[in-house]
Structure 1
Amino acid sequence: MSYNELTKWIESGHTLIPNFLLQNYKRIGLTDTEFIFVLQLKAYIDKNIPFPNLALIAENMGIAEKEVFSLLHNLMQKQMILMETKNDLSGKVEDSYSLDPIYQRLFQLMERSEKKQPIQQQEKNIMTMFEQEFGRNLSPIEMQTIATWIDMDHYPLELIESALKEAVLNRVYSLKYIDRILLAWEKKNIKSVKDLVQQQSTRPQSNQDKFDEKARTDAPMEVPLYNWLENDADA
């Protein structure tokens, strides 16, 4: 490489690609070819050429110009690229492409990921709780069952924990048994530990079901032991 070629290469500039975009472009709806096209646009925008000649991009990508027009049209239809018209300082009308919709989608994806992390940690915690109470590792099917309770049935984690406690106190280490408890509570419109305590207070308890009063005072939200499936035809 000659010095002139090196100088030309340096002066051509550099395009910074955010790692989050590189890692998630498919998650926001870009195909591989669309992603390359977006990078081509970004390279020109970074060089202060906001409305580049699409023929040059077609040449860079090694595809027909009509394919580039099709890519642009599809991305505008998907509301991932905007074409804006505004006046410059001299009053001359200028067109430009904006990648802001892509950055907005990335931001929304990042927000969803941040919100999901605490939930995922809570799911891990409850899986660990089941393994500790059962005294063994959960099978993949059992993990999927618990995930279904959380993600599809939308049972609150506190209710799942209470159902686990009921099963353990009754010495039944079975997810099927716990599932029946959760279904019984759902039929009774029990949606929280508070609902559960209120429902329990309206039903007679056997001597086995009663708590020590001091323990009840120390832990007011503890759920009294009650065999929800015994003599309960609708469960």
Structure 2
Amino acid sequence: MALHHSGKIVKCDQKVDITATFGSDLVLEGFTAIPNILLKVYSQVGISDFQMLLLIQLIRFHVEEREYYPSPQMLAEVMESEPARLERELQDLLDKEIIAVSQFYDCDHRVIFQGYDFEPLFSKISDIWAAIRAREIEESKKLLNSQELAPDMFDNKVTGLINCFEKEFGRPLSPIEVEQIEQWAAGADASLVVEALRRAVLGGKHNFKYINSILVEWKKNNIRTLDAVEQYDRDFHKRRAGLKKRCAGPGEVPAPEDSKTDSKKKAFIRTLYI
């Protein structure tokens, strides 16, 4: 007749391989499963690190030893803490309604007994999980919507730039020029492309190569907005004014450029900062 043994079972064998015995006990003693989501969010419900370890021991007592209401003295045997502190920590968990003390019914022995109840803990954890999941779903919806709208927004952006260029150039753009505008639109804000066009027109430079040189200069200096362009212009003028003061002594007029190459270079730079 098969017997049910609820206590600890020890093998009756004098020839013991300690390593093998350890491996056997490691498996047969069982495991205490702790939900990962509990380990991730326990601090959000007001559980300290020490209290988390205490909860793990309470769960272990419940699962492994079928001890539903371990005393502070029993807990002190497996934790490096005094029973008095453990009693305070247990009371704190009860006060914060993280655990509760409830009555349980043993169907086999038909008895009612008292034990720690973990339902309040998992109720709080489920609320946090629900909030996290709701936020993730909302973020995923926004991402999907942005991906759905992105092609239309990009097409409208390119169309607006093409219309602007054709108006300033006074002619339809070629396919190559349209492709160039698409590349600019993909790498820069439309307002920057229009500003580069404006500077080119004011400088009498109606060509894409010149406009591209302006945008490349801004990109190289990490300029992404019109405000950044204006600040860059101000900094440029300050640097140029300071350079002139250093080059010219009191009452002196700065010397003219010595070569046509330098003159052309400076003229080009000036057009970038009209």
Higher helix share: 2
Mark the structure with the bigger radius of gyration.
2
Give the alignment's TM-score, normalised by structure 2.
Answer: 0.43
Give the alignment's TM-score, normalised by structure 1.
Answer: 0.50
